[in-house]
Structure formats: structure tokens, C-alpha cells
């Protein structure tokens, strides 16, 4: 997020170039290394500030489309029991994953824009297997 503040500011060209170079040295996070997790509300208010930032959001997926090389759908960002839905965002994983729309999950993904709208580019999914579910 701070990188985007610099890139979108009136800082000198040299400072903005250094901010871009820092990205090359950053490692992709996993579920255990995310320190700052931004809410959907924060991201929706100023998407350009959070562009390319990583988040872990909980909820459920609906309208799942699976291909041999990818999985996508609409991600309902909410609590496990869907008591309150914070938002709905298109989600895409560049790998084939079998997701159960009846079960809650957590997605580690990167904030992106596609056709001017928010998109969650998923990197990793955690969907607990419930005992006796056969999965």
C-alpha cells in the first residue's frame, strides 16, 4: 500500500522508480506471513491505493467455473456463517481447484483491476474439510 502511495504521488521520478524496483525484491506471501490484512471496505473505497496488495479474506464462493487450468467465481466476503456479507468480488485462481460452494473458505489473493472493476487474483485457498464429508 505504501508503495502505491509513492507511485500515485507527486514524488520525483527517481523516487517513484525506486518504489517500482522494490517490488522485484518482494516475495509472494503465504497465509502465515501476511502482516497487514486490509478489509474489503478499505479496498473498495480506494482500489488504486491497494492495487497489487495481498489480502486474506474469508467467505464463500458461488458461480464456480472450473477449467483444466483455472478456477473462478464470485467471492462473497463474509463471516463463516454468512451472517453479514461485506462485499462480492470476482475471484480467479490460475490453477484448477475443486471448491465446495457450501463450505466457508479463506483466499489469499492479490487485489487487481479488470475493466475498471475489482478482481481478486487468488494464489492460495484454504477450505477446511469437515469430518464425515468424504472430501
Per-residue pLDDT of the chain (135 residues; tens, 9 = 90+): 666 666 666 777 777 777 777 767 677 788 988 888 999 999 999 999 999 899 999 999 999 999 999 999 999 998 666 788 999 999 999 999 989 888 899 999 999 999 999 999 999 999 877 655 554
- Give the whole-angstrom CA distance, residue 120 versus residue 113: 8
Residue 13 domain-assigned (yes or no): no
Task: Check if the beta carbon of residue 62 is closer than 8 Å to that of residue 103.
Answer: no
pTM: 0.81
Give the residue numbers spanning the domain of 56.
Answer: 29-126
| CA of residue 134 relative to chain centroid, distance | 28
* Model confidence pLDDT, tens digit, residues 91-108: 999 999 989 888 899 999
Smallest CA-to-CA distance from 71 within 36, 99, 37 is with 99
CATH at residue 93: 2.40.50.140
- The reply to whether 11 falls in a domain is no
Q: How many CB atoms lie within 10 A of CB 1?
A: 15
Amino acid at each position: 500500500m505504501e508503495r502505491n502511495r509513492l507511485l500515485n504521488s507527486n514524488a520525483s521520478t527517481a523516487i517513484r522508480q525506486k518504489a517500482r524496483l522494490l517490488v522485484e525484491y518482494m516475495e509472494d506471501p503465504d497465509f502465515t506471513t501476511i502482516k497487514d490484512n486490509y478489509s474489503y471496505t478499505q479496498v473498495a473505497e480506494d482500489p488504486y491505493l491497494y492495487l497489487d496488495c495481498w489480502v486474506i479474506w474469508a467467505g464463500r464462493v458461488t458461480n464456480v467455473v472450473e477449467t483444466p487450468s483455472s478456477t473462478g467465481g464470485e467471492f462473497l466476503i463474509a463471516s463463516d456463517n454468512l451472517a453479514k456479507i461485506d462485499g462480492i468480488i470476482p475471484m480467479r485462481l490460475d490453477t484448477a481447484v475443486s471448491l465446495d460452494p457450501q463450505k466457508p473458505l479463506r483466499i489469499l489473493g492479490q487485489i487487481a483491476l479488470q475493466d475498471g472493476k475489482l478482481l481478486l487474483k487468488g494464489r492460495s485457498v484454504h477450505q477446511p474439510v469437515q469430518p464425515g464429508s468424504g472430501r
